[in-house]
Amino acid sequence: MLSAADAARRRHWGDADKLRIVEASFSGPRMVTATARKHGISRSLLTTWRRLAREGRLGAEPAPSFAPVALAPEAAARTGPAPSAERVEIVLMNGRRLIVGAGIDPAALARVIAVLERA
């Protein structure tokens, strides 16, 4: 359990601050330790932020990307109502399943998927 002193020292860094610190750490050789010390954070935390920045997961909202899709045999062979009444099941990278109407707005779907992937 954290003591009151530990809780008082704990800080929350915004994405803009994290990116600024990460950029400073890339400014020259052997700058990770010096930059971490300057900002009062651990070297391991700065290393984690640097990895997230390289992966594009620090700061800006990640852009929707394409994922592999597989049609289940029964869904491919089914002849049913108009496409707007069809359902699409999406299995997210975190294992969650999302079932939506085939006529869903792609922008709305991208927003929903982004929220569910972060949760």
Beta bridge pairs of residue 99? 89
pLDDT tens figures, 84-113: 568 888 887 777 888 888 888 888 888 888
Confidence of residue 76 (pLDDT cuts 50, 70, 90): very low
- CA dist 25 and 27 (Å) reads 6
Name the residue among 19, 13, 21, 14 with its Cα closest to residue 39: 21
pLDDT of 46 strictly over 90 = yes
Across the chain, mean pLDDT equals: 77
Going from N- to C-terminal start, the domains of the chain cover: 4-54, 73-118
Q: Please indicate whether residue 91 or residue 47 has the higher confidence score (pLDDT).
A: 47
pLDDT of residue 80: 52
CA atoms within 13 A on the CB side of 98: 18
